[in-house]
Amino acid sequence: MLSPGFSFNRKLASLQGAQFIEVRGNELDSLPIDSFLFGPARHAKFILLANPNNPTGAFVPVAEIERLVAKYDRLVVLDEAYIDFAPENGLHLVNRYSNLLILRTFSKSYATAGIRIGFAFGHPELIGRLRNIQNMFNMNVIGHAVGMSVLSNRRAYDENHSHIKHERQRVSGALSEFGFSVIPSHANFLLARVPAGRDGKWWQSALERQGILVAFFPDDGLEDCIRVSIGTRNQMDPFLEAVDKIRRGADSS
């Protein structure tokens, strides 16, 4: 997996008794293709990429992902959980490469994480092999019905995506003015390096005391960052007010 990445994958790998190798690149928005092909991960059974990535929100151009898929002789799993917030997607690649599996979910842009539904695109042989190992009972009928209804109301969700992209821009600008260094995001959250003097953990606790929950990642070299999800304007304004208040307090203490 690309690092920093979706750390839950580490847990899933360990449940399977799998060896989990993290590959670090120099830049967040580009793939270390040679490290994947020739580095410690060269014998890996498959590569798992999230694009846009979590927790960074960084986006790698699809052409670069295609370069890796074309050169790699094993499976690439491309997790597009946040793709609706990004400028382009890799769906067309599944027609060209049989070693690519694309994952999508209803949990993010469709705002229905509670129905626990995701879907995948891939070569028929790949999908066939997944069918061979899947639970003999399929997804539940409630999730299925909600999923169908969500897909037939795409327009409502498109409005939601454009709102989130707009709000993401506004919050990012405000945080920068408060001295945070915000990583350009193509997801529905922002990863921001906090102003010098305090770490992410400190900011997380200070915000929690104001009733605002943000994520903090202790073990990914992101100790000085917090991740905040983008919500409605009415949710983001109190967040920005709390940040401003804390920042003034931090200056004077």
Ligand X SMILES: *Cc1c(COP(=O)(O)O)cnc(C)c1O
Given the DSSP bridges, would you call strands 222-229 and 215-217 parallel, antiparallel or unpaired? antiparallel
Judge contact between 143 and 150, C-beta under 8 A: no
- Which class for 108: exposed (0-12), middle (13-18), buried (19 or more C-beta within 10 A)? buried
Q: Is 193 left (phi over 0), alpha (psi -120 to 50) or beta?
A: beta
CB of 103 to ligand X, least distance (A): 7
Query: What's the closest the beta carbon of residue 218 comes to ligand X, in angstroms?
Result: 18
Q: Pattern 190-209, binding to ligand X, x per CB under 6 A?
A: --------------------
Q: Is 84 in the site for ligand X (CB under 6 A)?
A: no
Smallest separation, CB 79 to ligand X (Å): 5
Applying CB under 6 A, does 81 fall inside the site for ligand X? Answer: yes
- The interface mask with ligand X, positions 97-136, x = CB under 6 A, is --------x-xx----x----x------------------
79 binds ligand X (CB under 6 A): yes
* Closest CB to ligand X among residues 37, 139: 139
- Residue from 41, 47, 50, 164 touching ligand X (CB under 6 A): that is 50
The count of C-alpha atoms lying within 13 angstroms of the C-alpha of 170, restricted to the half-sphere facing its C-beta, is 16
129: alpha, beta or left? (left if phi > 0; alpha if psi -120 to 50): alpha
Q: Is 13 in the site for ligand X (CB under 6 A)?
A: no
Number of residues that bind ligand X (CB under 6 A): 10
- Count CA atoms closer than 13 A to 242's CA, side-chain side: 18
Peptide bond into 218 cis (omega under 30): no
Site residues (vs ligand X, CB under 6 A) = 6, 50, 54, 79, 81, 105, 107-108, 113, 118
